[in-house]
Structure 1
Amino acid sequence: MILLNSRVLPNRYAASSLVAVFILILNSLFFNSVFMNILPLSGYFVVALNAAAIVFLMTIKSRIVGSLYVLVFFVSIFLSAMQAIYFSDLYYLAYSGFFFLSLFVVMLCSMKDLSVLVDILSIVFFLMLIFAIFAFILALLGIDPVYVTENRDGRPLYYFYFSFTNSYYGNLMRPSGIFDEPGAFSFYISALCCLRVLLGKDERLTFYILLMGFITMSLAHVIFFFLYVISQARLRKVFNFRSVVLFFVVFSAAFYFMGDIFYDMLFSRFDLGGDGLVAGDNRSNLIMNALQFIYENPKSILVGIGPECLLNHQSCALLMPHFNSNPFEPLIRVGLLQSWLYYLLLLVAFIAPFFGRRYFVVFGFGLLLLQRPYLMHVSYSLYSVVIVCITLGVVVSKINQILAASSISASAHYLKWTPKVEQVPKL
């Protein structure tokens, strides 16, 4: 049986739609930025715009609904309903709302829509990174931030003319662009570059965006950059003479003027501490806390800790030690009844390299999801769904080719070895 690649992206060959590109940009860039906190805008605004875009694309643009997505949606709703009944809390039905908005928006998009999205995001992030470098230099020169406000998590959020950040010490800051923290900025940069590789965009621009992304001083960015380099089959396109010269000039200048800073803020975090852990490792304790809680509360594997940890993080912190930002967080919050979506996406990301070296970037994106398992946030879910859907399309296509080749081979083998039936002479 031949699988149908069109079921992964049922509208893949449709023409580009301005509405589709617009809602993709909002979901991937604006709806998880600090502007949502500053304005402020509620989640209902996000839901309303996404719902309107979905209705428009289905009715006016006649986009097709994929049966695969409908099946996933109804299975998830059924499991969520069981969880809502168990805890007597209807919020469990809405917990996966942002993820399914992203899923259905991507389902209704074409490859041209996604290509235009990546082109626009590439320009925006390139400019954002240039501004981030300027902001870093201003802070280094001792210039104070323009103003300080409070982030969603209660930590201070600084604005340095060209970039926000919540990581500011003395005259050193780690830029976060229009996002709330440098790690989030690095995540979106890496996700964008993963999409650029998957869609075959210019490799040199991808390389420069990732290179400038080191200004976030994120450990995860270093790891993703390494996997990106591994994934490139044609390194000559990236490392031509001009690229190499430019790289060494920029690297030498940065090392000469800021080598000590980058070592203290980034590379020193790879040093081993007295407990044998990497100095910059801020996840191991969270993982151990999560595993300890699961061991003491085995029922959480199926249904999660309870409704206290869905909305109010402060009350959740009173119940147990911090367990956030690690791969076991979804399991503790909502159990397998809803976190199976997250682990399914991880599975696809981790098997991707088996289908070609270039898909090591998808593996790298999976590693990012391990430390940022925020699949139920609108922007994180949008990038995750797009990357996994494109990867699934490749996987299904490869399987189609294998099945087709096997079918042809079996037919040829049968025709070659079928014996001729000799006529029996009449008596």
Structure 2
Amino acid sequence: MEFIKAYNFWITFQVVAGAIGFVLVLGGILRPFFEFQEMDMRTGYFFGLFTSNAYSDGFIRNAGFFDEPGALAFWGMIALLMNKLYVDNHKIELALIFGLISTLSMAYFIQIVLYLWLFYKGKRLKIVFPVLLFIATLKGVASFNDRIDQAIFGRFEYNEKKGTLAGDNRSDLMDVCWDIFKTAPIIGQGGQHLIEISKEKQLFVGANAYMTLACDGIIGQLIIWSPFFFLYSLRKYSRKYGWAFWILIIGFLQRPYDCNQLLFPLVSFTLIMHAYLNVQSSKQNIKYARP
């Protein structure tokens, strides 16, 4: 539990500090202290309160101290889930829900709608005001300039040429990985092959729903997702674990599990372990409560 509290504190700090910096940048008050080069060779900007690799002409996205805004949104959503499942601190919940708007992450907007729908389905009258406030905040942020408006609302418009949402930047990568998957559907082509293909095509073929299938095949996909299937099985003890499963899977579809990053197993297994411990504790309490 101490790890969860520490993790949530650090993520919430990044979200809130970055959200404040986000507003200051939009207001023309805060500018980058310096530029730096990220590991993937993209240019990053250090603003003191946060960093970002998405900054130009009044447009900005909060990445906290991660490599990109989508990463902060991804790990922020997991912090939101761990808080809801095991801590239930309403101040942290509100800070994350509203602060993560500054990432302008399409995946986050989809996940937060599902989060509110599932976790507050029995209390929808109580969240009418927070939802209206959330929408008003989105409108307010979008009003700063056209690029931010497009980043929030324009990305959900239907693109007739592509046949997808305008903000969909994964379909092309999915097509590439699906073709790779079909060449070795059982065990995949391996991570090294994907790296070679990325170099050859000058296009990163990761970060999409089919990346794991292309890399590790059906067997690898089942192994990687097996802990989350276990979490889903705990829904018979509490529906909240089933809800968390679906929100997590949506996140992993656009940002697949990466075995090269310690944060993935550390946070994922911590979340699942505490679900298991909570279920076992509930069983013991019921057992001792019987006459």
Match of residue 268, structure 1, among 127, 151, 154: 154
Asked whether the 8 Å contact 2:181–2:217 carries over to 1, the reply is no
In the aligned structure 1, how far is the partner of 2:191 from the partner of 2:139? 49
In the superposition, the TM-score normalised over structure 2's length comes to 0.80
Match of residue 124, structure 1, among 10, 17, 24: 10
Q: 1:306 to 1:222 in 2, by over 3 A?
A: closer
Q: Which moved more, 1:365-374 or 1:246-255?
A: 246-255
In the aligned structure 1, how far is the partner of 2:67 from the partner of 2:5? 23
Which ranges in structure 2 are unaligned for 5 or more consecutive residues? none
Asked whether the 8 Å contact 1:271–1:279 carries over to 2, the reply is yes
Which ranges in structure 1 are unaligned for 5 or more consecutive residues? 1-114, 405-427
Matching residue of 2:52: 165
Q: Which moved more, 1:332-341 or 1:285-294?
A: 332-341
Matching residue of 1:347: 229
Match of residue 245, structure 2, among 362, 380, 393: 362
1:335 paired with 2:217, answer yes
Q: 1:144 to 1:278 in 2, by over 3 A?
A: same
Matching residue of 2:115: 228
Report the residue type matching 1:289 in the other structure.
Answer: V
1:288 paired with 2:175, answer yes
- Structure 1 counterpart SS, 2:44: strand
Identical amino acids, percent of aligned pairs: 21
In the aligned structure 1, how far is the partner of 2:239 from the partner of 2:144? 35
**When the two structures are aligned, how many residues end up with a matched partner?**
277
Report the residue type matching 2:102 in the other structure.
Answer: I
Asked whether the 8 Å contact 1:217–1:265 carries over to 2, the reply is yes
Q: 1:394 to 1:134 in 2, by over 3 A?
A: closer
Asked whether the 8 Å contact 1:349–1:362 carries over to 2, the reply is yes
In the aligned structure 1, how far is the partner of 2:132 from the partner of 2:219? 51
1:383 paired with 2:234, answer no
Q: 1:340 to 1:367 in 2, by over 3 A?
A: same
1:304 paired with 2:185, answer no
Asked whether the 8 Å contact 1:185–1:216 carries over to 2, the reply is yes
Matching residue of 1:209: 96
Matching residue of 1:324: 206
Alpha-carbon offset, residue 208 of structure 1:
3.1
In the aligned structure 1, how far is the partner of 2:119 from the partner of 2:137? 26
Asked whether the 8 Å contact 1:163–1:176 carries over to 2, the reply is yes
Alpha-carbon offset, residue 150 of structure 1:
0.9
Report the residue type matching 2:253 in the other structure.
Answer: L
In the aligned structure 2, how far is the partner of 1:253 from the partner of 1:129? 15
Q: Which moved more, 1:222-231 or 1:138-147?
A: 138-147
Asked whether the 8 Å contact 2:188–2:217 carries over to 1, the reply is yes
The structure with the largest alpha-carbon Rg is: 1
Alpha-carbon offset, residue 216 of structure 1:
0.6
In the aligned structure 1, how far is the partner of 2:141 from the partner of 2:205? 38
In the aligned structure 2, how far is the partner of 1:357 from the partner of 1:150? 44
Asked whether the 8 Å contact 2:26–2:144 carries over to 1, the reply is no
Asked whether the 8 Å contact 1:231–1:361 carries over to 2, the reply is no
Asked whether the 8 Å contact 1:223–1:364 carries over to 2, the reply is no
Instruction: Output aligned runs, 1:41-52, within 5 Å.
Output: none
Q: 1:126 to 1:337 in 2, by over 3 A?
A: closer
Report the residue type matching 2:19 in the other structure.
Answer: I
Alpha-carbon offset, residue 363 of structure 1:
1.4
Instruction: Output aligned runs, 1:94-113, within 5 Å.
Output: none
